[in-house]
Amino acid sequence: MLTPKDFEHSLRQLLPNPEDHTFLLAVSGGVDSMVLLDLFRSLNFGFQVAHVNYHLRGDDSNADQQLVQDYCTKHHIKFHLYEVSEKDERPQHSIQNWARNLRYAFFAKVRHEEKIDFLVTAHHLNDQLETFLINLSRGTGIKGLTGIPANDNQLLRPLLHFTKEELYDFANLHQIAFREDLSNMKNDYLRNRVRHNTVPELTQLNPQFLIQFGATISHLKQSNQFIENSVNKAFSAVIMKNLDNGFVIDKKKLMEHDPFLVREIMRKLGFAGDEIGKVIGAENGKLFRSKSFELQISKNEITCCRRTV
């Protein structure tokens, strides 16, 4: 069962000295973020709270806001609110992407104004599994299968190793009030369909599936880190000369590497799929452009210049 001590251990794995930093918690009012809020309060680290009211669910949206605001008032926690005006135009499609972009822009603004070190969200192991399955269904490499990072620059996710069931158990044990978003029960979105249909089927096959999945993700992350280190080492080895705005790759040395490493090096230059084969097999004088680089091909060299536009 999740305890404050377990949570502190998880946080310290991401950040060895959390007491020396400040945090902004993204709190929606759901069980995940309300448990996150209560855990942070129990540890007495310096933090503030941010909440976005999109006014997409009428009175329910206002009730979410009120719950978070009341908790912060009761415990003397600084509370930041962004309310989307009901008159503002909503997109007809991709409402989730619109909402996500809006809230993360707000979080960044608060962090900047308040000089807060880290944003903290309440993503958990079930979220990780859903992301894994979605990426798998769309086709992805090993990096895509590693899912959500626990430490993503100034964004921390210390609950990522805990299950949704553990969060519910903690909330019930400590009598933490939370809100249920009934829209999550609908199968309108791919993530909800994965949550309600695919995951239960997998859990039926193996009741310990979620826990074992957590171990699998850990192995995948280690494998991905090893691959990234190997690619970076190979990349450095094929650079024969640095330029003011780029570098020159030794074509012969590049082709001596395993095809997988060659492909990953080309990905670093912004090329993917069939483009990679075209670049590698190109005649002298050919020019290729990605979003980040312009490549000039010669017999023994590939001149790589960073694009400014």
CA dihedral 217, 150, 231, 247 (to 10 degrees): 160
Distance (Å, whole) CA 35 – CA 47: 15
One domain, residues 173 and 293: no
Cα–Cα distance, 142 to 145 (Å, whole number): 5
**For residue 24, which of 49, 53, 51 has the smallest C-alpha distance?**
49
> Would you say residue 72 lies in a domain?
yes
Give the whole-angstrom CA distance, residue 136 versus residue 133. 5
pLDDT band at 253 (very low <50, low <70, confident <90, very high): very high
Instruction: Please say whether the beta carbons of 31 and 21 come within 8 A.
Output: no
8 has a pLDDT exceeding 80 = yes
Global pTM reads 0.87
- Quick one: tokens of 14? 């991401």
CA distance 166 to 6: 12
43 vs 8: CA distance, rounded Å: 8
pLDDT at 189 (0 to 100): 80
302: helix, coil or strand? strand
Residue 212 lies in a domain: no
> Whole domain around residue 263: which residue ranges?
238-306
Q: Which pLDDT score is estimated for 309?
A: 66
The predicted pLDDT at position 166 comes to 97
Residue whose entry in the numeric block shows the structure tokens 């908790």: 71
Q: pLDDT of 121-180, one tens digit each?
A: 999 999 999 999 999 999 988 999 999 999 999 999 999 999 999 999 999 999 999 999
pLDDT number for residue 232 = 97
- How many domains, in total, are found in the chain? 2
Question: Bigger pLDDT: 57 or 177?
Answer: 177
pLDDT at 94 over 90: no
How much is the average pLDDT of 212-228?
A: 95
Same domain (yes/no): 59, 186: yes
The pLDDT value given to residue 234: 97
**What mean pLDDT, rounded, does the chain reach?**
94
| Banded pLDDT at 87 (limits 50, 70, 90) | low
Q: Are 55 and 61 in contact (CB under 8 A)?
A: yes
CATH number at residue 264: 3.30.465
Rounded to the nearest 10 degrees, the angle between the axes of helix 4-14 and helix 31-43 is: 90
In whole angstroms, give the CA distance from residue 180 to residue 186: 13
Query: What is the structure's pLDDT at 1?
Result: 86
CATH code, 150 = 3.40.50.620
* Alpha-carbon span 86 to 22, nearest angstrom: 32
| 177 plus 68 within the same structural domain | yes
